[in-house]
Amino acid sequence: MTVFLSSYLNGVDKKGRVSVPAPFRNEMAAHPRQMVVVYTAPEGGYLYGWAYEDFVQLAANIQRMPPLSPVRQRLARAILAAARPLGFDGEGRIMLPDDLMAKAGIDGKVLFAGQGEYFTIWNPERYDGQVADDAAFTNDDLTALSDAWEKMVAEQKGQ
């Protein structure tokens, strides 16, 4: 299982090339396809990045929904149709497409934020703003985490 942790600030050149952080590349090293799948967050303002094989699992979950389901259709348009598989060059860089950079407001610098099984790619100022906004939910989020942890422990004891 791929686990992306920490945050990294990297430069983006005029062609849209950016070095994927070495710890993220190392995390993907065991995957047969050395590719990152990137798409604009449906809620806007940043990009999602997945190891190719992990993205295929996400796609499979979408495809398990009934084919004509409106929810499946929306997710397929927002995620699957928007996804761009990007290969690494010899220096560990990917080339972010211009339209994705524009949607994420990326220009010159990019922040990679580990999110567990995937990572996000941000304009650094937007990321800082989101983190500041998130602070208002810290107590509620910690309570939700504690509740989930207690539920998991109870389920393990019941087995």
Q: pLDDT band at 97, cuts 50/70/90?
A: very high
Count up the domains in the chain and report the number.
2
Tell me the pLDDT tens digit for each residue of 4-36. 999 999 999 999 999 999 999 999 998 999 999
Over residues 45-83, the pLDDT tens digits come to 999 999 999 999 999 999 999 999 999 999 999 999 999
Q: Is the pLDDT of residue 111 over 90?
A: yes
Q: Calculate the CA 159 to chain-centre distance.
A: 33
Query: For 133, how many CA atoms within 13 A lie in the half-sphere containing its CB?
Result: 6
**Predicted local distance difference test score (pLDDT) of residue 157:** 86
| Alpha-carbon gap, residue 51 to 121, rounded angstroms | 14
149 shares a domain with 87: no
Instruction: Judge if 85 and 148 occupy the same domain.
Output: no
Instruction: Verify that 52 and 118 share a domain, yes or no.
Output: yes
Q: For residue 158, is pLDDT > 90?
A: no
pLDDT of 159 above 80: no
Asked whether residue 100 falls in the same domain as residue 145, the answer is no
pLDDT of residue 131: 95
- Asked if residue 104 belongs to a domain, the reply is yes
Element (H, E) at 134: helix 124-134
Inter-residue contact 39 to 84 (CB < 8 Å)? yes
Domain housing 114:
7-122
Is the pLDDT at 1 greater than 90, yes or no? no
